[in-house]
Amino acid sequence: MRSVEETLGELGEFAVIEAVTARLRQGPQVLLGPGDDAAVLAAPDRRVVASTDLLVEGRHFRREWSTGYQVGRKAAAANLADIAAMGARPTALLVGVGAPASLPVRWVLDLADGLRDESEPVGASVIGGDVVGADTVTIAVTALGDPAGREPVTRSGARPGDVVALAGRVGWSAAGLALLTHASGGDLGEVAESPLIRAHLQPEPPYPAGPVAAEHGATAMIDVSDGLVQDLGHLAAASRVAIDVDPAALELTPLLAAAARCGVDPYDWVLAGGEDHALAATFPSDAGLPPGWRRIGRVLAGGGVTVGGRPYRGAGGWAHFGGDPPVP
């Protein structure tokens, strides 16, 4: 390999792939890693949980805000959280990258490092993928997981009387994006090291909470990627129940100063902000909550989601093709 200061166009497809795969360590579940037409992965359960997601430059990230490493961590997190939300253990990622020839090789290597470092702590390996030319940086990730002998926890099992619980944080990523947008074109100043901005650039999903919830009898579960109210709405619709969120149970303290700076209601971030990749689940009311989970509401007969017994009138959460703007 030549200098990492070169561009993708200067180095060439196969040299880039070789440089990337050299950075990827393979876990014990990988029987055949990168380098052949396909990888081979052990599946002890004889079932595989699978999920896929896309990140597009200008819609999910901006290179002037995010390093390649942060984008790699974020891309992996979005998919690994979906596996955890099924109560499964992540085992592997497949990654496709589309990028312009002018993109520095260093950025792609940093991306690979971020993907690796987000995956390895939860026992997953990056086992292969592809690199192609494209006008815009686009990252496609497919995550695979092992249900470990348990039935997957779907969105459709919630029952009236269940407790609604949350693992992880909500609103932080949306607040971080608001701070970045508010300071766009100027100096970030004192907010540059804000944990809210870090939460947007590099989310921290509570991966272990998914399998723990499954072990403790969770009746339904979902990754909160598009906003708490919206994603609970998906769970409520799949389960044919209603959900009422207790606003007093939602933590606002870290968001208040940012809300004052940006002139917004922090509840809009908590209830409608996406990309924190918290996990929301329902549990039988008499079962108690496992470690890492806290009660935020209840399941009722009916349909839809209310907040404090009333319809939520704020922002509706993220929806592609629904008129929401990309990352500005």
Query: 40-41 and 30-32 as β-strands: parallel, antiparallel, unpaired?
Result: antiparallel
Find the mean pLDDT for residues 69-97. 97
Write the class of the CATH domain 163-311.
Answer: alpha beta
Each residue's pLDDT tens digit, 280-295 = 999 999 988 999 999 9
Find the mean pLDDT for residues 79-87. 98
pTM greater than 0.85: yes
**Residue 323: what pLDDT?**
46
Find the mean pLDDT for residues 6-29. 84
Q: Which of 164, 190, 168, 137 is nearest to 275 (CA)?
A: 168
Residue 247 has pLDDT above 50, yes or no: yes
| Cβ contact 95:55 at 8 Å | no
Domain boundaries, the chain: 8-146, 163-311
Each residue's pLDDT tens digit, 122-158 = 999 999 999 999 999 999 999 999 999 999 999 999 9
**54/290 Cα distance (integer angstroms):** 32
Is residue 310 classed exposed, middle or buried when 0-12, 13-18 and 19+ CB atoms within 10 A define those classes? exposed
At the topology level, CATH places domain 8-146 in 60s Ribosomal Protein L30; Chain: A; (3.30.1330)
Residue 203 has pLDDT above 80, yes or no: yes
Q: How far is CA 265 from CA 74, 157, 188, in A?
A: 26, 33, 21
Q: Which two tokens stand for residue 212?
A: 């723990």
Q: Which of 175, 178, 177, 179 is nearest to 187 (CA)?
A: 179
Find the mean pLDDT for residues 233-257. 95
Q: Which two tokens stand for residue 158?
A: 């919630």
**Neighbouring C-beta atoms of residue 284, cutoff 10 Å:** 15
